[in-house]
């Protein structure tokens, strides 16, 4: 008896546990101070490229190019371009982006590995369908979690002198 695609997605999510990409996004990114980022692409991009140009670092997704301040930010944005997320949060503290990008890229690669293991005895077309459904599930969960505010709120008082 063949398992349904939803059952296979459930197996992949169970195998990943806390390393499921939307769960990492929820627990690691959205718990800190972030800013919203809008990525204007039409759908999931299978192979977004990071370009080193004379003007700096850019992410090329499809026919669009997005300027990035540094390599860590380009790596971070590339993860969300792969799944076609239109809006997501970027950590405001740039020193944290590299570490989180590493974790998200590891999660992405583990997802692909676990999905290929789950579909090892299925036809290639079935494996491609599972990957497509997994990407759609990730995209919808990240959209559900949300991107937050366009700019973070600074509630701390900076005045040091007493009145």
pLDDT tens string 79-104:
999 999 989 999 989 999 999 999 99
Give the domain ranges of the chain. Answer: 5-145
**H or E segment to which residue 105 belongs:** helix 94-118
What residue ranges of the chain have pLDDT lower than 50?
1
| pLDDT at site 1 | 41
pTM of the model: 0.86
| pLDDT at site 83 | 92
| pLDDT at site 81 | 93
| pLDDT at site 123 | 83
| pLDDT at site 122 | 84
> In this structure, are residues 76 and 101 in contact, taking their beta carbons and an 8 Å threshold?
yes
| pLDDT at site 26 | 95
| pLDDT at site 156 | 66
> In this structure, are residues 138 and 109 in contact, taking their beta carbons and an 8 Å threshold?
no
Q: What is the four-CA torsion angle of 31, 37, 41, 42, rounded to 10 degrees?
A: 50
pLDDT tens string 57-69:
999 998 889 999 9
List Cβ neighbours of 16 (8 Å cut-off, separation of 6 or more): 107, 110, 111, 114
């Amino acid at each position: 008896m063949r398992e349904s695609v939803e059952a296979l997605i459930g197996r992949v999510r169970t195998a990943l546990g806390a390393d499921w990409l939307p769960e990492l996004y929820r627990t690691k990114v959205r718990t800190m101070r972030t800013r919203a980022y809008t990525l204007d692409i039409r759908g999931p991009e299978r192979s977004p490229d990071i370009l080193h140009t004379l003007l700096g670092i850019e992410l090329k997704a499809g026919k669009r190019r997005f300027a990035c301040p540094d390599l860590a930010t380009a790596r971070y944005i590339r993860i969300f371009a792969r799944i076609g997320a239109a809006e997501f949060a970027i950590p405001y503290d740039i020193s944290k982006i590299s570490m989180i990008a590493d974790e998200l890229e590891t999660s992405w690669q583990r997802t692909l590995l676990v999905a290929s293991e789950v579909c090892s005895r299925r036809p290639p077309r079935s494996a491609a369908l599972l990957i497509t459904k997994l990407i759609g599930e990730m995209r919808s969960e990240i959209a559900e979690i949300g991107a937050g505010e366009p700019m973070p709120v600074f509630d701390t008082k900076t005045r040091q002198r007493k009145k």
